[in-house]
Amino acid sequence: RIQIFQYQVMKWLLALLVGSAVGMVGFFSNIAVENIAGFKLLLTSNLMLHNRHMEAFLLYMFCNAVLAATAAALCAYLAPAAAGSGIPEVKAYLNGVDAHSILAPSTLFVKIVGSIFGVSAGFVLGKEGPMVHTGACVASLLGQGGSRKYGLTWNWIRYFKNDLDRRDLITCGAAAGVTAAFRAPVGGVLFALEEAASWWRSALLWRTFSTTAVAAMVLRSLIEYCRSGNCGLFGKGGLIMFDVSSRVTAYTATDIAAVILLGILGGLLGALFNFLLGWILRTYGIINEKGAPFKIILTVAISLVTSCCSFGLPWLSPCTPCPPELPASRCPTIGRSGNFKKFSCPAGHYNALASLFLNTNDDAIRNLFSGGTDSEFGVTTLLTFFVAVYSLGLVTYGVAVPSGLFIPVILSGASLGRMLGKLLGSLTGLDTGLFALLGAASFLGGTMRMTVSVCVILLELTNDLLLLPLIMLVLLIAKTVADCFNKGVYDQIVRMKGLPFLEVHGDACMRSLVAGDVVSGPPITFSSVERVGSVVHTLRRTGHNGFPVLEDEPFAPAPELCGLVLRSHLIVLLQGRIFTRDRVKTGAAEVFRKLAPFDFAKAGSGNGLKVDDLGITEEEMEMYMDLHPITNRSPYTVVENMSLAKAAVLFRDLGLRHMCVVPRTPGRPPVLGILTRHDFMPQYIRGLFQNVLRE
């Protein structure tokens, strides 16, 4: 009873701890980006002020290349799993894919540092996706009680060494990551619910919400602290926050038509983005496979292209006179990040393209979203920026740095939306800043196909509930249009990485198959009291994680299915050396005198014992071990003629890892095989199905 209470309290403490840790990491990474990128931009614009354009360009390019190379080197040598957004990996983990190193401590380190360097390097990429991955890593690390490899472990965390609690905690971590990236606590919860988690329980809702609330509070109080100027030169910006106060309550038919048009455009361009991204990722995959140096070279090359674009394109834009109502201190901006960049213009003028390109991405988004500034950016400026950002966003994702997709998508969407707003001009009563916001929403809907979470995140960013109908409309249209062409970008990446992700709806081919069709051959089984040697040999020979246990001769008249035993539990039992000379039952009491229940707890990633490390002697090999105490006596089973589609529902909805297939008629072996996650992958079934057809 006390243990249950302790467990409950710890679960909550851990969740809150994750929240505050993620909030702090989010704040730290934000401040770091602001300072590094700010310092770089300050140096460049100082040189520009003295008309040393070439030097400024070279310095800018050099800084970017060095930052990019560092990030890529970290990624390539230390933790290749840290490249990319990380959201697909987190999604797959929460679906039950236990891939190595997804949530390892080294991944966490590289994800944070690499993301800071990557964003500072001026790439068109975001820190939002990596933040979600970071949140998940932090949660995993805390949930494991630290890392055994680095000698940081707590023992009191042992209650949480199981799949369910670990997955719950990582869901909380991912939600906190979104919150840390967007300051959106409700949005974080809905992101976890809609995009990240594959299983959801009501109880999780409140825990996740607490985590995100703590993360938001920590973040807000740290930012509050920074407002007093304690966080370096550039600690004020970052974390896009767009306070639109244009309270629109009525829309005309033209407005609605414009929004619908924007939704269709967002859907089409979003689907195109996903399609092109898939193609580019395959191409990059070939380059990246050649080794770490190639990864770094690719990254630096993209960095150079990005630098040329950001620095070169503004030259195409003419200088615009500052709006007369603004004070000279606000326009042009000299030597700090902000609106109205001076670039190469004479006094009292600003370069519109430079205001977008030579800025951090957050500032560019804020510029695009800003209301009441209809004339700041012209149509040509916005079109140039849109084309550049759309293409750069495509070629940047896939290089070996932690790179989120939110920012490129928001940037292209916002510039497109604002452009449409400019083009419509006085035809619509909506602000161009609002158009930028709607454009961003439509692009997010078109690429990521998230709906409610994007909606709520944008609501929380704008703090204005009255925008809700327009945002929902544009999202609905964009998602519907894009769904006609391909799947969401994260699903696409999951599939390209070959992660065995269980979809909600099984493939159509499953409906005409039965469970018996996909079972491959007779399974490797153990007798309920098995010779040690046979267990060891089997474990060495195969990589299977679960084995059916059969009750036979002395213990039952005919062989019958006793249950399922896990590889990890077998290894713990072998390590405990609870063997007997003769083939007899030892009983559970014997086992649990030597081993505590916690010894069977699931180990963290990569911490599992190996069979070969146990050093079983020849003599011991001839002894027997009783598998009854560690056998799961009630494995979920399906009859061989069960529809495969229904078996898949059972497998997925209950979150199983193994499912036994039993025969329908007596007189056959009591278990026909074991179905695992891989047996439900459409590719596998389709391959098998062809064979069945041919036969």
Taking the complex as a whole, how short is the minimal distance between the CB of residue 206 and a copy of itself, in angstroms? 4
The answer to whether 182 and 457 have CB atoms below 8 angstroms apart is yes
Q: Which is nearer to a copy of itself, 42 or 639 (CB)?
A: 639
Q: Given the complex with a copy of itself, which of 35 and 451 has the nearer CB atom?
A: 451
Q: How far is the CB of 521 from a copy of itself (least distance, A)?
A: 23
Our CB check for a copy of itself shows the closer of 356 and 467 to be 467
Structure tokens at 348: 């009292």
Q: Are 93 and 385 in contact (CB under 8 A)?
A: no
User: Applying CB under 8 A, which of residues 108, 189, 481, 529 lies at the interface with a copy of itself?
Assistant: 189
35 vs 210, beta carbon nearer a copy of itself: 210
Query: Could you give the count of Cα atoms lying within 13 Å of 397 in the half-sphere of its Cβ?
Result: 31
- Residue 321, φ and ψ in degrees, nearest 5: -70, 145
The nearer residue to a copy of itself, 154 or 225, going by C-beta atoms, is: 225
Closest to a copy of itself by CB, 201 vs 336, is 201
Angstrom distance (rounded) from CA 405 to CA 446: 12
Q: Which residues contact 54 (CB under 8 A, 6 or more apart)?
A: none
Q: Which of residues 468-487 bind a copy of itself (CB under 8 A)?
A: 468-469, 472, 476
Is 667 near a copy of itself (CB under 8 A)? yes
Closest CA to 38 of 115, 116, 134: 116
Q: Is 691 in the site for a copy of itself (CB under 8 A)?
A: no
Q: Which is nearer to a copy of itself, 464 or 626 (CB)?
A: 464
Helix residue ranges per DSSP H, 228-291: 253-288
Smaller CB separation from a copy of itself, 561 or 674? 561
Site string for a copy of itself, 98-127 (x = CB under 8 A): ------------------------------
Determine, following the binding rule CB under 8 A, whether residue 489 of this chain makes contact with a copy of itself.
no
**Three-class SS of residue 101?**
coil
CB closer to a copy of itself out of 194 and 374: 194
Which is nearest to 298 in space by CA: 36, 115, 60, 65? 65
Instruction: Check residue 6 for interaction with a copy of itself (CB under 8 A).
Output: no
Site string for a copy of itself, 424-463 (x = CB under 8 A): ---------------------------xx--xx--xx--x
- Report, in this order, helix, strand and coil percent for the chain, each rounded to 5: 60, 5, 30
Residues 511-530: x where in contact with a copy of itself by CB under 8 A, - otherwise, as a string: ---x----------------
Secondary structure (3-state) at 75: helix
* The only residue of 599, 650, 669, 684 in contact with a copy of itself, by rule CB under 8 A: 650
Find out whether the peptide bond into 332 is cis, omega within 30 degrees of 0. Answer: yes
Residue 172 or 331 having the CB closest to a copy of itself = 172
- Within 8 A by CB and 6+ apart from 561, the residues are 548, 549, 550, 551, 635, 637, 660, 662, 670, 671
- Using CB under 8 A as the binding rule, the residues of this chain from 534 to 593 that contact a copy of itself are 558, 560-561
Could you give the C-alpha distances from 570 to 134, 427, 671, in angstroms and in order? 33, 73, 20
Q: Which of 149, 201, 336, 540 binds a copy of itself (CB under 8 A)?
A: 201
Interface size with a copy of itself, residues (CB under 8 A): 55
Contact between 287 and a copy of itself by CB under 8 A: the answer reads: no
What is the identity of the amino acid at 37? Answer: A
Smaller CB distance to a copy of itself: residue 179 or 370? 179
User: Using CB under 8 A, which of 64, 85, 120, 210 touches a copy of itself?
Assistant: 210
d(CA 129, CA 657): 28
Q: Which residue from 206, 279, 315, 598 is in contact with a copy of itself, where contact means CB under 8 A?
A: 206
Contacting a copy of itself within 230-269 (CB under 8 A): 249
Residue closer to a copy of itself (CB basis): 147 or 210:
210
Q: Rule CB under 8 A: is residue 641 a binding residue for a copy of itself?
A: yes
Of 625, 662, 681, 685, the residue at the interface with a copy of itself (CB under 8 A) is 662
Residue 287 · residue 500 · CB < 8 Å: no
Question: In 10 A of CB 315, how many CB atoms?
Answer: 13
Site for a copy of itself in 615-634 (CB under 8 A): 633-634
| Residue 620: other Cβ atoms inside 10 A | 16
Report residue 607 CA to chain centroid gap.
23
Residue with tokens 């062989």: 559
Residues in the chain: 695
At 385, which amino acid appears? Answer: F
Residue 504 touches a copy of itself, criterion: CB under 8 A: yes
End-to-end CA distance of the chain: 59
**Residue 541 Cβ, how far from a copy of itself at the closest point, in Å?**
29
Q: 403 near 252, Cβ under 8 Å?
A: no
Q: What value, to the nearest 5°, has the Cα angle with vertex 651 and ends 201 and 92?
A: 65
| Complex with a copy of itself: residue 147 or 492, whichever CB lies closer | 492
In the numeric block, the tokens 């361009």 are attached to 269
Residue 46 has a CB neighbour count (10 Å cut-off) of 14
> Using CB under 8 A, which of the segments 93-101, 367-375, 647-655, 672-680 binds a copy of itself?
647-655
Cβ contacts of 641 within 8 Å, gap of 6 or more:
514, 515, 516, 664
Binding mask 159-178 toward a copy of itself (x if CB under 8 A, else -) reads: --------------------
Q: What residue ranges bind a copy of itself (CB under 8 A)? A: 185-186, 189-190, 193-194, 200-203, 205-206, 209-210, 213, 216-217, 224, 249, 451-452, 455-456, 459-460, 463, 465, 468-469, 472, 476, 504, 514, 558, 560-561, 633-634, 636-639, 641-643, 646, 649-650, 653-654, 662, 664-667
